[in-house]
């Protein structure tokens, strides 16, 4: 009976009801579109960065002790401890017994692959053009198991690193800056004074600008020579079965290896923080839209209650309780919320698909053809439940107000 | 004391003329007070009213405006609750101010339980508040039945249509309430009041807003209902209409000053 009355009241004011529904629909649609856009960008960045760099990286140094020796002596937390003229150690950093450690890591459950690497900065020169690059010395067949770099080549072949003497695979950004193409020879100069002529055997494009503009791959032994690090491994890259477990595995491996082990989350902490802030802003904006829509619902339901004070008195006179009256108006809120949310989800889905197809060239932190839209079921669930909840909350006040009308006072007022 | 006088004027089931049923009272007001406002602005509407309404009675409550007759009607029907405490904070009334519907003390019932009692045992007819305009005549009649849930939806709709037919509205079953004339609306309201076969119909000036013709028609309907054994309590200013009832209660300044059987009733029964 409550549903019957609610629906009839709902249909009696079709225009007002549609305005309420439209408000909720737009809010939900905006939420879906904005979160899909945010997720698209974030997911692209994370996935491409993580998949092209590995899930975990074991570095050639222990994690820095939090309590330095001076702080151990002077325990006052407010003391400022300054040491002047500290001479850097001349020790060459490396992962000792890297092969043994790789074997040990590979045997751990949940580990998909592990590969050695030597990594340092260099300057790439082609003709008059120069660019700072990160040289990654890798074993090609192992590297393609720990990262997806092998699938990101737009020209050439990653395996040619093994077959071509002094081969190099460079990012598309580097190629663009230098003007180098496949089979061109570029000159690399390292900080240690090493110099090598390297033939471009592949050009990759991950879509992540910092990677494409800085990274180049060489055969491990060639890179060791160039960087002046003969037989030295200074990083081990690890691929997990599930990249979301990286932080847990990083702690575990660090305890076993004794070297600082960084998860992809730690390596990209700054970006992840920015994404988190952007997500909060997105939620805030869409929540504000939803609150505005909820105020619309509140306003219209208050008007509906005021218009039907006599009805409320009559309903109470023939046996409806305060709870029944409350439910009649809460149900109206529920119907507005349900119809608005579902319509919003459908419109949101359509909008996402439409925007995905827009031919927009994106180039910033991430490079892509078209708008990056990524949908997650959780976005739809949050949008649905959130909008329903807010609209229901907006319906509670008028519903409770309706329930409190004293039928006798109303009837006397009409006399 | 006003309430003592009123008590003396009220019927007992054994002594009232024309009693059709020898049950206990259907509605009972025991030392009922009703005050509005607070502090220095207290307005005492009813002053210790005692009255019993028995099954099968057709009672009219008459009196000047502001005498408390409508208030008494709403209290008897459980639409309002009597005041329990004296205005001067001197504790509760003695005996307690109580309304009993079909033997049940309404002060013991919460809002939902009292609403159920109204739904099942009482049917209200008002002067102005006729129908829910967004519903058809049939749906208006059926709403109390939907709430009670004794009949299936189709059963309730069928009974609603039958009731409307009985009151000469068989051709207006599907018509929206706001598209009916005043007299038709009032007949639908009476049909709605009867939907759950209540123990008593409480009518607050049911002809007060109708023209002569429609007023007479509604008066005849109440008469027919009374003749079928339906208990009716009606507040009216219309002495001619009151004379058609079996009992007339006269109120003045929140007290019952007269409670007597009519000749009509004695003759009819």
The ipTM, to two decimals, is 0.86
Q: Is the dihedral of CA B214, B220, B225, B231 positive or negative?
A: positive
Long-range contact set of residues A249-252: C-beta below 8 Å, sequence gap at least 24: A249/A55, A249/A56, A249/A108, A249/A110, A249/A111, A250/A56, A252/A108
Interface contact B79-A314, CB threshold 8 A: no
Q: Give pLDDT, residue A111.
A: 92
Whether chain A has a CB inside 8 Å of the CB on B70: the answer is yes
Residue of A nearest to B119 (CA): A319
Q: What is the pLDDT of residues A352-368, one digit of tens each?
A: 999 988 888 777 777 77
Q: Give pLDDT, residue B267.
A: 36
Residue of B nearest to A414 (CA): B128
Q: Which residues in chain B have Cβ-Cβ distances shorter than 8 Å to A321?
A: 111-112, 114-116
Q: Which residues in chain B have Cβ-Cβ distances shorter than 8 Å to A319?
A: 115-116, 118-120, 144, 147-148
Interface contact B112-A323, CB threshold 8 A: yes
One DSSP character per residue, A302-332 reads HHHHHHTHHHHHHHHHTT--HHHHHHHHHHH
Q: Where are the domains of chain A?
A: 2-49+271-414, 62-67+91-259
Quick one: DSSP state of residue B10? S
Residue in B74, B119, B129 closest to A314 by CB: B129
Q: Which residues in chain B have Cβ-Cβ distances shorter than 8 Å to A310?
A: 129
Lowest mean pLDDT among A47-56, A125-134, B54-63: A47-56
Residue in A1, A316, A415 closest to B146 by CB: A1
Question: Is the pLDDT reported for residue B218 higher than 80?
Answer: yes
- Give the C-alpha separation, A175 to A160, whole Å: 17
Structure tokens at A145: 């198991």
Q: Is the dihedral of CA B134, B136, B140, B143 positive or negative?
A: negative
Q: Is the dihedral of CA A105, A109, A115, A120 positive or negative?
A: negative
Neighbouring-strand partners of residue A329: none
The pLDDT of B111-131, averaged and rounded, is 90
What does the mean pLDDT of chain B come to? 85
Whether chain A has a CB inside 8 Å of the CB on B264: the answer is no
Q: Give pLDDT, residue A155.
A: 93
Angle between helices B111-121 and B137-148 (to 10 degrees): 120
Whether chain A has a CB inside 8 Å of the CB on B192: the answer is yes
Query: Where residue A88 falls among pLDDT bands split at 50, 70, 90?
Result: low
Q: Give pLDDT, residue B22.
A: 44
The pLDDT of A24-42, averaged and rounded, is 90
Residue in B111, B128, B143 closest to A321 by CB: B111
Q: Give pLDDT, residue B90.
A: 75
Question: Which residues 6+ apart lie within 8 Å of B152 measured at CB?
Answer: none
Q: What is the pLDDT of residues B79-107, one digit of tens each?
A: 999 998 887 777 888 899 999 999 999 99
Question: Is the pLDDT reported for residue A90 higher than 70?
Answer: no
- Sheet order of strands, B43-53 included: B43-53, B27-36, B98-101, B104-105
Cα–chain center distance at A134: 25
Q: Where are the domains of chain B?
A: 2-132+199-268
Q: What is the pLDDT of residues A290-302, one digit of tens each?
A: 888 889 889 988 9
Q: Give pLDDT, residue B7.
A: 37
Question: Is the pLDDT reported for residue A414 higher than 60?
Answer: no
- Which among B135, B128, B125, B127 has a CA at the least distance from the CA of B178? B135
Q: Give pLDDT, residue A39.
A: 87
Per CATH, is B2-132+199-268 categorized as 3.40.50.720? no
- Which among A27, A5, A9 has a CA at the least distance from the CA of A292? A27
Q: What is the pLDDT of residues B66-86, one digit of tens each?
A: 899 999 999 999 999 999 888
Question: Which residues 6+ apart lie within 8 Å of A27 measured at CB?
Answer: A286, A289, A290, A292, A293, A340, A344, A387
The pLDDT of B214-234, averaged and rounded, is 90
Helix/strand/coil for A376: coil
- Shortest Cα distance, chain A CAs vs residue B263, angstroms: 31
- Give the C-alpha separation, A134 to A352, whole Å: 37
The pLDDT of A281-285, averaged and rounded, is 88
Q: What is the pLDDT of residues B4-55, one digit of tens each?
A: 333 333 333 333 334 444 468 999 999 999 998 877 788 899 999 999 999 9
Question: Is the pLDDT reported for residue B265 higher than 60?
Answer: no
- Give the C-alpha separation, A348 to A29, whole Å: 4
- Give the C-alpha separation, B17 to B19, whole Å: 6
Burial B47-85 (b: 16+ CB within 10 A, else e): bbbbbbbbbbbbbbbbbeeebbbbbbbbbbbbbbbbbee
Cβ B189 vs Cβ B201: under 8 Å: no
Query: Where residue B213 falls among pLDDT bands split at 50, 70, 90?
Result: confident
Residues of A with CB under 8 A from a CB of B: 1, 4-5, 8-9, 12, 310-311, 313-324, 406-408, 410-412, 414-415
Structure tokens at A146: 């720990």
Query: Where residue A161 falls among pLDDT bands split at 50, 70, 90?
Result: very high
Q: Which residues in chain B have Cβ-Cβ distances shorter than 8 Å to A412?
A: 70
Q: Give pLDDT, residue A203.
A: 96
The pLDDT of B114-120, averaged and rounded, is 94
Place of tokens 């006397």: A412
Q: Give pLDDT, residue B61.
A: 95
Residue of B nearest to A407 (CA): B79
Phi, psi of B146 (to 5 degrees): -60, -40
Question: Is the pLDDT reported for residue A133 higher than 50?
Answer: yes
Cα–chain center distance at A22: 30
């Amino acid at each position: 009976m409550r549903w019957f009355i609610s629906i009839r009241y709902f249909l009696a004011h079709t225009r007002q009801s549609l305005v309420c529904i439209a408000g909720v629909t737009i809010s939900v649609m905006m939420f879906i579109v904005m979160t899909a856009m945010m997720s698209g960008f974030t997911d692209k960045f994370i996935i491409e960065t993580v998949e092209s760099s590995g899930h975990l990286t074991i570095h050639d140094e222990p994690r820095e002790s939090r309590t330095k020796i001076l702080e151990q002596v002077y325990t006052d937390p407010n003391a400022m401890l300054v040491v002047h003229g500290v001479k850097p150690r001349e020790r060459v950093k490396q992962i000792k017994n890297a092969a043994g450690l790789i074997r040990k890591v590979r045997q751990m459950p949940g580990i998909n692959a592990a590969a050695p690497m030597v990594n340092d900065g260099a300057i790439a020169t082609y003709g008059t053009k120069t660019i700072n690059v990160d040289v990654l010395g890798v074993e090609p067949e192992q590297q393609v198991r720990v990262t997806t770099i092998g699938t990101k080549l737009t020209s050439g072949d990653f395996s040619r690193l093994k077959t071509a003497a002094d081969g190099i695979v460079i990012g598309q950004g580097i190629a663009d800056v230098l003007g180098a193409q496949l089979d061109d020879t570029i000159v690399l100069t390292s900080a240690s004074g090493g110099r090598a002529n390297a033939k471009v055997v592949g050009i990759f494009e991950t879509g992540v600008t910092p990677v494409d503009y800085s990274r180049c791959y060489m055969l491990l032994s060639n890179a060791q020579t160039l960087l002046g690090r003969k037989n030295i491994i200074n990083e081990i890259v690890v691929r997990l079965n599930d990249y979301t477990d990286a932080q847990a595995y990083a702690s575990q491996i660090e305890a076993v290896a004794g070297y600082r082990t960084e998860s992809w989350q730690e390596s990209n902490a700054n970006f992840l923080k920015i994404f988190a802030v952007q997500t909060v802003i997105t939620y805030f904006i869409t929540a504000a839209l939803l609150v505005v829509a909820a105020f619309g619902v509140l306003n219209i339901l208050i008007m509906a209650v005021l218009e039907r004070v006599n009805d409320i008195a009559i309903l109470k006179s023939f046996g409806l309780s305060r709870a029944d009256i409350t439910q009649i108006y809460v149900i109206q809120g529920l119907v507005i919320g349900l119809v608005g949310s579902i319509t919003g989800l459908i419109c949101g889905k359509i909008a996402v698909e439409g925007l995905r197809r827009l031919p927009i060239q994106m180039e910033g932190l991430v490079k892509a053809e078209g708008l990056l839209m990524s949908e997650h079921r959780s976005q739809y669930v949050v949008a649905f439940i959130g909008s329903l909840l807010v609209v229901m909350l907006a319906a509670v006040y008028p519903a409770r107000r309706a329930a409190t009308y004293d039928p006798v006072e109303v009837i006397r007022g009409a006399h | 004391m006003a309430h003592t006088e009123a008590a003396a004027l009220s019927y007992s089931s054994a002594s009232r003329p024309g009693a059709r049923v020898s049950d206990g009272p259907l509605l009972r007001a025991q030392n009922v007070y009703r005050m509005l406002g607070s502090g220095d602005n207290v307005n005492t509407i009813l002053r210790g009213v005692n009255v019993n309404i028995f099954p099968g009675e057709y009672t009219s409550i008459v009196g000047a405006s502001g005498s408390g007759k409508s208030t008494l009607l709403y209290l008897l029907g459980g639409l309002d609750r009597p005041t329990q405490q004296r205005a001067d904070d001197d504790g509760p009334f003695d005996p307690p101010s109580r309304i009993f519907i079909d033997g049940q003390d309404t002060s013991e019932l919460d809002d939902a339980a009292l609403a159920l009692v109204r739904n099942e045992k009482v049917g209200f007819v008002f002067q102005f508040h006729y129908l829910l305009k967004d519903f058809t005549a049939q749906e208006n009649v059926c709403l109390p039945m939907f709430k009670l849930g004794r009949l299936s939806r189709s059963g309730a709709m069928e009974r609603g249509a039958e009731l409307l037919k009985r009151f000469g509205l068989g051709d207006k079953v599907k018509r929206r309430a706001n598209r009916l004339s005043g007299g038709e609306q009032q007949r639908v309201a009476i049909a709605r009041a009867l939907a759950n076969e209540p123990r008593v119909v409480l009518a607050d000036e049911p002809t007060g807003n109708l023209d002569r013709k429609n007023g007479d028609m509604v008066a005849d309907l109440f008469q027919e209902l009374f003749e079928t054994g339906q208990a009716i309590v009606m507040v009216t200013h219309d002495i001619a209409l009151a004379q058609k009832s079996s009992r007339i209660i006269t109120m003045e300044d929140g007290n019952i000053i007269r409670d007597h059987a009519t000749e009509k009733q004695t003759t009819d029964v």
